[in-house]
């Protein structure tokens, strides 16, 4: 790795980087592999980086071997889906408000952006779709219709 860093900007820099990154397969710790790869990549000029990236594993299609990595990827995807649901619900609330010709106040907008609970956002959206008031979003609890209790944030 040190040779790859020392020679990064020389004519042989890309070849040294390829050799060093190939040797990373011998490193047992996957986090350390990523750190080393990132360090080598960052030291290279743009053209050498492109050459290196053309020869490394296609990370999008790589099947991780360790349970740790697979769990890490699974958790990241789960968090990404959750964030996507929250963003979609926020957008849906904005669409309902726009269709009704309403614009949320600063405090309502701040509360809407601060909420990360899909159940609460769904509750707000349903209440707005059934004629609830946008000002009710600023209360401690979302507006509730008969027979429904407010979910916790």
Supply the DSSP symbol for 110: H
Give the residue numbers spanning the domain of 18: 2-55
What pLDDT does residue 83 have? 94
Residue 146 in domain: no
DSSP codes joined into one string, 43-65: HS-HHHHHHHHHHS--TTT----
**Judgement on whether residues 47 and 84 belong to the same structural domain of the protein:** no
**Judgement on whether residues 71 and 45 belong to the same structural domain of the protein:** no
| Whole-angstrom distance, CA of residue 72 vs CA of residue 66 | 10
In this prediction the pTM is: 0.51
**Judgement on whether residues 25 and 77 belong to the same structural domain of the protein:** no
Residue 148 in domain: no
What pLDDT does residue 145 have? 43
Q: pLDDT tens track of the chain, all 153 residues?
A: 667 777 677 877 777 877 887 777 788 888 888 888 888 888 888 878 877 777 775 555 667 777 887 888 889 899 999 999 999 999 999 899 888 888 888 888 888 899 999 999 999 999 998 888 877 775 644 444 444 444 444
Residue 61 in domain: no
**Judgement on whether residues 84 and 119 belong to the same structural domain of the protein:** yes
**Judgement on whether residues 83 and 128 belong to the same structural domain of the protein:** yes
| Whole-angstrom distance, CA of residue 63 vs CA of residue 69 | 10
**Judgement on whether residues 48 and 78 belong to the same structural domain of the protein:** no
Residue 143 in domain: no
The number of folded domains in the chain is: 2
**Judgement on whether residues 24 and 50 belong to the same structural domain of the protein:** yes
The pair of three-digit structure tokens given for residue 56, joined into one six-digit string = 């490394």
Residue 78 in domain: yes
Residue 41 in domain: yes
**Judgement on whether residues 81 and 133 belong to the same structural domain of the protein:** yes
The pair of three-digit structure tokens given for residue 34, joined into one six-digit string = 């990523």
């Amino acid at each position: 790795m040190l040779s790859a860093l020392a020679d990064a900007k020389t004519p042989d820099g890309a070849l040294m980087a390829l050799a060093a990154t190939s040797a990373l397969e011998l490193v047992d710790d996957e986090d350390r592999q990523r750190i080393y790869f990132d360090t080598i990549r960052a030291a290279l000029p743009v053209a050498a980086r492109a050459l290196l990236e053309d020869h490394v594993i296609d990370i999008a299609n790589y099947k991780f071997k360790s349970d740790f990595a697979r769990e890490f990827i699974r958790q990241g995807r789960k968090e990404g889906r959750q964030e996507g649901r929250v963003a979609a619900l926020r957008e849906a609330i904005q669409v309902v408000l726009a269709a009704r010709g309403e614009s949320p106040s600063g405090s309502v907008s701040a509360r809407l952006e601060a909420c990360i609970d899909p159940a609460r956002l769904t509750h707000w959206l349903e209440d707005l779709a059934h004629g609830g008031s946008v000002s009710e979003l600023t209360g401690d609890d979302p507006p509730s219709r008969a027979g429904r209790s407010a979910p916790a944030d």
